[in-house]
Amino acid sequence: MKRFCSLALCAGMIGSLLGLSACGGSGGGANAAERLVGTWLLTQMRGYMAGTPEERECSWTFTVQSDLSYTGRRTDHDTTYRETGTITLDGDYLTFHYKIGRVDHTYTATYQYYFADGGLVLDEGGTAWFFEPQ
């Protein structure tokens, strides 16, 4: 189970081939960039990774600036990943362009996204990640 969670988090960070969500809205709308500004905390996952961060022994928090640069931290069991980068928006899709720690390589991860119930949802096809503003 620990290995499964590790692989799923890595796939979510590095993967970029995504399906469409059957629920939620369509993208973030005209002011999506403004709505992203702030700190977001992962509160729940649905799909093949269903559960809370506590149940899955993982966490994901990121802070977005007005220029769509961001810093984030993901934890999977006992491993913490610190990332810095930028976000681009294209219709219903949000892409993180980031570096982990001091590694000289830029990763990308693309999600279908939408805002629902005051929060942010990132959908990677098999799992939807639900975030609340902090």
What Rg value do the Cα atoms of the chain yield, rounded? 14
Nearest-angstrom CA–CA distance, 7 and 121: 20
The reply to whether the predicted model has a pTM over 0.85 is no
Quick one: which of 95, 100, 68 has its CA closest to 84?
100
Which pLDDT tens digit goes with each residue over 43-54?
A: 999 998 899 999
Any idea what the CATH number is for the domain that residue 57 is in? 2.40.128.20
Which pLDDT tens digit goes with each residue over 84-122?
A: 999 999 999 999 999 998 888 999 999 999 999 999 999
Q: Is residue 97 a contact partner of residue 114, using CB atoms and an 8 Å limit? A: no
User: What's the angle, vertex CA 128, arms to CA 122 and CA 69, rounded to 5?
Assistant: 20
Domain tally for the chain? 1
For 67, the domain range is 2-133
